[in-house]
Amino acid sequence: MRERRRPLSLGERLETEALIDGAFAPLRRRRASVGPTRVRAAVRWGRVGPARPVPWAARVARVSELAMAVGFSVFVFAGSLASAPGERVPTGEAPEMLEVAVVDDVLVRRAFWVPEAPSAPDAERPLVVPLDDHLDPSKPLPAWIGAQPVGGQPLVAFIVR
């Protein structure tokens, strides 16, 4: 350590400087082969500075961003396809028709209300449903034969004509 702190003698200094001079001598004679035209081109094209390599972490980040973007796009696209049929959301203003079938020459309709809707009938009361008869719209539908709540589901009414 003491040796490292000791100042160089004149001879040591000259010797070291001579070594450095000799090492740099070939390089000192070198000349660049570029001209100002290349500078003009660089200015015109706006490319100044090294083309830096993308670090590993940045690459991972870009791949993650890309994966997220693709996943989100697929999710949105699939969602748009799923909602395409446009299933109507029951409002409770009128019963929703679930199915229409003819059983033994009797037209059976099954409909339901959304229980929380203001116009939904009480499960205890008989149902009076102003449904249109889609087979013969000019005639009113006959009376209802009953209604029943179906285990937490909307109220279901069976219509028989």
Contact status: 17 vs other proteins (CB under 8 A): yes
**Footprint on residues 41-70 left by other proteins (CB under 8 A):** 42-44, 48-50
Identify the residue among 4, 106, 125, 138 touching other proteins (CB under 8 A): 4
Contact status: 38 vs other proteins (CB under 8 A): yes
Identify the residue among 2, 29, 88, 125 touching other proteins (CB under 8 A): 29
Contact status: 16 vs other proteins (CB under 8 A): yes
Contact 110, 158 (CB under 8 A): yes
DSSP 33-90: ---HHHHHHHHHHT--S--PPPPHHHHHHHHHHHHHHHHHHHHHHHHHHHTTT-PPPP
Q: Which residue has the tokens 């959304």?
A: 114
Residue 99, H or E segment = strand 96-103
User: Which CB sits closer to other proteins, 48 or 150?
Assistant: 48
Token code pair at residue 9:
């003698």
Span of 26-34, 83-91, 111-119, 145-153 interacting with other proteins by CB under 8 A: 26-34
Contact 156, 99 (CB under 8 A): no
**Coil, helix or strand at residue 110:** strand
User: Which CB sits closer to other proteins, 15 or 65?
Assistant: 15
Contact status: 80 vs other proteins (CB under 8 A): no
Which residues are at the interface with other proteins (CB under 8 A)?
A: 3-4, 7-8, 10-36, 38-40, 42-44, 48-50
